[in-house]
Amino acid sequence: MLSPTVSPSSNPLDRHAELLSRALRYVDAHLPERLDAATLADHAAMSRHHFHRVFQARVGCSVAQYVVWCRLQRACAMLLSGRESVLDVALAVGYESAQALSKAMRRELNTT
């Protein structure tokens, strides 16, 4: 079902932007959950293959890379606030342990 702001006669690029925006909002709201291209494609009302092409063209990276980036961005903000333990932050952003978060930070950000 299309959102009320997208009409069938809309420019396809505008429609893609709206559907992709829907998927990106879903990522932001569901970081602790399993997020993959199939799940996001469903929320964007696109086939998985079409979603992957549109996502990569618009966002500039794969779904997996984007999810990791979002998780690490949120984890960094939470860690800087200093209100929660590393384990609590890891669990809140979708990692199974503090070690998994630390490993991802080392790999992606070159820091722990």
pLDDT in tens, 17-50: 899 999 999 999 999 999 999 999 998 999 999 9
Across the range 79-98, mean pLDDT stands at 95
The Cα 72–Cα 48 span in angstroms is 25
Beta strands in the chain (DSSP E): none
Give the pLDDT score at 10.
57
The Cα 65–Cα 107 span in angstroms is 12
The Cα 11–Cα 19 span in angstroms is 12
Beta strands in 11-63 (DSSP E): none
Residue 96 near residue 90, CB atoms below 8 Å? yes
Give the pLDDT score at 13.
67
Residue 6 or residue 84, greater confidence: 84
The Cα 91–Cα 101 span in angstroms is 9
Give the pLDDT score at 12.
63
Across the range 72-101, mean pLDDT stands at 95
